[in-house]
Amino acid sequence: MRNYQSILILKPDLDEAQVEQSIEKITSIISKFGGAILKLDNWGKKRLAYRVKKNKFGYYLNIYHTCEQGNVPALEREYQLYDLIIKYLVIRLEERDIERVMSKAAEAAEKAESEAKESVTAEKTEGAAKEGVVAEKTE
Amino acid sequence: MKNPTKKKRNLFTQKICRFCSDKIQFIDFLDIKLLKPLISERGKIVPSRISGNCARHQRQMTEAIKRARSIALLPFSEEH
Ligand SMILES: [Zn+2]
């Protein structure tokens, strides 16, 4: 079992539901080859640096996953046959690469959490300030 | 006679590698903001003799740019 990173570009004219569906399909493809998804990033619609199959935009998906060693060519073939994927790239990751990715993700999540807490407290203080203003007006 | 238009470059002015000075250990090919200044307007990779990057980082960066190109994050050439 090795770690891999798949970057997939989906057709730009999909809506949210279709993107969700294709993510499910891709998950099933990966699990078919004995792999599991470790992390999935949906980057949304991005402008491509050059035209790919006449498309100027594309939906980017960045997936960190595991896969059975001999199955990668078959996985790539499956990506090729899936009509919503216009371009793909599969990269093998060393142990330290995946560790770095995961620690980075954990850090980002922690940061987001603390920021969320901060914003909540900020809102509270703001609300309190507003109440104070209202109270002053009524007086 | 020496060519007056050709200035002799001072061998002692050393350019600094931007990755070394930022203490970047690993160059991620998805980090387009980092790689964008290292390609020319035509999409070419800027040589280390101009950018001043050290050999190790230039090598890592070249690989990162090539990967980014293959997944349409950076251009191979100008868009026609
Ligand atoms: Zn360096």
Question: What pLDDT sits at residue A118?
Answer: 76
Please state the length of chain A: 139
pLDDT at A24 over 70: yes
A87 touches chain B (CB under 8 A): yes
State which residue of chain A sits closest to B67, comparing Cα positions. A89
pLDDT at A34 over 70: yes
A42-88 pLDDT per residue, tens: 998 999 999 999 999 999 999 999 998 888 999 999 999 999 999 99
Spatial CA neighbour of A102 closest among A8, A1, A5: A5
pLDDT at B7 over 90: no
pLDDT at A114 over 70: yes
Question: What does the pLDDT average to over A11-40?
Answer: 90
Residue A40 DSSP code: E
Question: What pLDDT sits at residue A48?
Answer: 92
Give the start-to-end residue ranges of the domains of chain A.
2-93, 95-139
C-alpha distance from residue B4 to each of B8, B10, B11 (Å): 10, 15, 18
Ligand 1 center–CA A117 separation, angstroms: 38
Please determine, for the modelled complex, whether the ipTM score is greater than 0.85.
no
Q: What is the pLDDT of chain A when averaged over all its residues?
A: 85
State which residue of chain B sits closest to A60, comparing Cα positions. B71
Ligand 1 center–CA B38 separation, angstroms: 13
- Contacting residues of B for A7, CB less than 8 Å apart: 71
Question: What does the pLDDT average to over B28-50?
Answer: 89
Smallest Cβ–Cβ distance between A49 and the set B26, B30, B72 belongs to B72
Q: What are the percentages of helix, strand and coil residues in chain A, rounded to 5?
A: 55, 35, 15
Interface with A, mutate which of B73, B76, B78 (most A CBs under 10 A): B73
Q: How far is residue A73's CA from residue A113's CA, in Å, rounded to a whole number?
A: 39
A108 touches chain B (CB under 8 A): no
Interface with A, mutate which of B36, B66, B71, B78 (most A CBs under 10 A): B71
> Which residues from B are below 8 Å from A when comparing CB atoms?
26, 30, 67, 69-76, 79
DSSP H or E stretch at residue A43:
strand A37-52
pLDDT at B35 over 70: yes
pLDDT at B36 over 70: yes
Q: How far is residue B20's CA from residue B16's CA, in Å, rounded to a whole number?
A: 8
A116-133 pLDDT per residue, tens: 777 766 666 665 555 555
Question: What does the pLDDT average to over B26-43?
Answer: 89
Q: Cα distance from A70 to chain B (closest Cα, Å)?
A: 23
Three-state DSSP at B12 gives coil
CATH 3.40.50.410 for domain A2-93: no
B7 vs B73, residue with greater confidence? B73
Specify the pTM.
0.76
